[in-house]
Amino acid sequence: MTSIAQTLKDCEAQLCAAGAPYEMEEVVVGGQSYRQFKQAPSTFRELLDGGRQHGDAEFLVYAEPGQTEERRSFNAFYRRVDALAYQLIEHYKLQQGQRVAIAMRNYPEWMEAYTAVASLGAIVVPLNSWGTAEELEFVLRDSAADIVFCDQRRLELLSPLLADLPCRAIVARGEATAQAESMEALITGAEGRAMPQPWQCQPDDPVQIMYSSGTSGKPKGALSTHRNITQAIISFEAQAIMSAMANPKAIEAMFAGGNAPCSLLSVPLFHVSGCYAAFLLNLRGGRKIVMTYKWDAGDALRLIEQEKVTIFSAAPSMVIDLLQHPDYENYDTSSLFSLGGGGSACPPTFKRVIDERFEQAYVGTGYGMTESNAIGASCSGLAYEYQPGSAGTLSPLVDFKTCDEHGNDLARGQQGEIWLRSVCNIRSYWQRPEANASQFNNGWMATGDIGYLDEEGFVHLADRAKDLIIRGGENIYPAEIEGVLSKHPAVLESAVFGLPDERMGEAVAAVIRLNDGQSVSADELKDFLGKQLAAFKHPQHIAFSTAPLQRNATGKLLKKQIKADYAKLAQA
């Protein structure tokens, strides 16, 4: 075993030993035994309240192009959260178990709404704000949300539907209407009120439904309990400390820079990476967050210089965009030390560009999913330098195995479908009994990802879920796009898959067979898709096949063969 692998094991043993800060214990949940952190908060409210100790220290800087940055201290943030929570109880009569959705882009109000709802112990439902009106409507109906927080753009999309939707709207950064109350007015109207405590939450009560795309083409709600999420956040903290212990020279160099830890947040808050790693960890840890209105590499460079940003973790394509920006040399980025690529496979360009720009950088990546509450494996510092192609070593909470196509357990080191067992795994899919039956078994969860665990404890991913495309950190399931294409009168059948893309990780491609006698151009199909799907799901490459698309005996598309034939079609 290499020195870094052994060092990480030693650090884990020291940090998680009896009497240590991250001491482990066994717990039985749903009849299954798991490991958990003994001192972790038992409820989401207890976890979130950890940020209150940081008082008047600066917490949040919100930057929108052409406008003066908005700034909030920890105290100011919690005053607004408390007022909003008071109104949810007093004005909206919110009850335990009710669902409250958030449909807005990255705004400070997103964080305030999330913290208020989760602190009360109701069920928070983050929505993908990039979705179309149809996509937003599906999730609101599926979750049976009683309230939806939205920004002005999402309110415009939902307005024609609100009369028929069983939920009330609260608008942030927009004018109140007959259909939506003003979030700002609600907060102002309860200024100075304390956070209510209307009911006593238990660790295994549900607290969040975060939707992830499903292979059926419709998203599935991943239902998490207080225990699932609090243990996940503490696991992030423990893994970060273990890595710091294993990389003393890097941490010494970081502190020698003299800059307080500060993160640039440019990834969506409605994903686990943005919500947990960027928002909740910094809220608890007392670190400043600089949040951008939208991703712009040039504006990010300005903010890194202005705010002395030290940490930037995002989709690999965003890190590459930043470091390859033509104006990079014109900005002082000397404060930037820690770089992470998550939510997408890291292309070789990722490491090369970092190596070109930095003499010393603390680089990391990892492996997790919505259904595992982002907990799986992590790889940073010397471990990343040693195994840059791996996803790193497992969280102390996680058990790992691989299975063959028949569900039989494989020996360690053998490649197969990855199954994870952890107290962080979601309780279930919301109202999806068939998916629950097929994906969960005696505490184990099938990930759909293909890989293996090597002899030193590093996780290697050979493939992702059979058809999943990850473009710039966004999960795209081909079945959804194929379903929309099937509605076009000229389309007989289609196969959608991912192609390697140096900047975005993957690009969406489609092979389409038309009905006899029909004709349609690639641009016409893109326009057709544009009316029904979010822009990030649109195919960048379209090829037409005159022959039937290859299928197996059960009629299932043989994506590997179709993908292999794509180059021939593209050149025809």
Tokens of 36: 């958990």
Tokens representing 112?
């305030």
Mean pLDDT of 547-563: 74
pLDDT at 377 over 90: yes
Max avg pLDDT among 193-202, 310-319, 347-356: 193-202
Summarised one tens digit per residue, pLDDT across range 157-196 is 999 999 899 899 999 999 999 999 999 999 999 999 999 9
The answer to whether residue 224 is domain-embedded is no
Query: What pLDDT does 215 receive?
Result: 40
Per-residue tokens: 451: 């890989």
What is the reported pLDDT for 1?
66
Window from 109-113, 479-483, 489-493 with minimum mean pLDDT: 479-483
Q: According to the model, what pLDDT value does residue 243 have?
A: 96
Q: Is residue 259 part of a domain?
A: no
For residues 501-515, give the mean pLDDT.
Answer: 89
- pLDDT, mean of residues 387-409: 93
Domain boundary among 162, 180, 201: 201
Weakest mean pLDDT among 17-31, 78-92, 98-112, 533-547: 533-547
Query: For 25-29, 193-197, 489-493, which range has the lowest pLDDT when averaged over its residues?
Result: 489-493
Query: Over the range 231-250, which residues count as b (16 or more CB within 10 Å of their CB) and which as e?
Result: bbbbbbbbbbebbbbbbeeb
Residue 284 lies in a domain: no
Mean residue pLDDT across the chain: 92
Angle (deg, nearest 10), helices 226-246 and 3-15: 130
Q: What is the dihedral of CA 3, 6, 7, 8, to 10 degrees?
A: 130
What's the one-letter identity of residue 453?
L
Structural domain range at position 512: 469-571
Q: Is residue 98 one of the residues assigned to a domain?
A: yes
Cα 212 to Cα 117, 216, 278, 477, 565, distances in angstroms: 20, 11, 19, 10, 30
159 assigned to some structural domain: yes
Is residue 462 pLDDT above 80, yes or no? no
What phi and psi, each to the nearest 5 degrees, are found at residue 520?
A: -160, 145
pTM to 2 decimals?
0.85
Instruction: Please give the helix or strand (H or E) that residue 273 lies within, else none.
Output: none
| CA atoms of 562 and 496, how far apart (whole Å) | 9
pLDDT, position 564: 83
pLDDT over 90 (residue 350): no
Confidence (pLDDT) at 570: 66
pLDDT at 216 over 60: no
User: First-to-last CA distance in the chain?
Assistant: 51
CA distances from 240 to 24, 120, 230, 351, 378 (A): 17, 28, 16, 20, 9
pLDDT classification of 213: cutoffs 50, 70, 90? low
Domain-ending residue, one of 174, 201, 228: 201
Residue 555 pLDDT class (50, 70, 90 cuts): low
Query: What single-letter amino acid sits at 217?
Result: G
- Residue 237 included in any domain: no
Of 26-35, 143-152, 335-344, the range with the lowest mean pLDDT is 335-344
pLDDT(254) > 60: yes
Residue % of the chain over a pLDDT of 90: 72
CATH number at residue 157: 3.40.50.12780
Closest alpha carbon to 242 in 113, 395, 455 = 395
Type of residue at 526: K
Residue 217 has pLDDT above 90, yes or no: no
Q: Is residue 430 part of a domain?
A: no
In this structure, of 67-76, 132-141, 313-322, 463-472, the range with the lowest mean pLDDT score is 463-472
CATH number for 561: 3.30.300.30
User: Of the candidates 168, 169, 103, which has an alpha carbon nearest to the alpha carbon of residue 132?
Assistant: 103
Cα distances (Å, whole numbers) of residue 223 to 140, 173, 209, 428, 436: 15, 29, 5, 6, 11
What's residue 554's pLDDT?
A: 44
DSSP code, position 102: E
Show which of 142, 169, 201 is a domain's final residue: 201
Burial class (CB in 10 A: 0-12, 13-18, 19+), 329: exposed
What's the structural domain count of the chain? 2
Whether residue 144 is contained in a domain is answered as yes
Give the mean model confidence (pLDDT) for residues 464-491. 81
Q: Can you give the pLDDT at residue 219?
A: 87
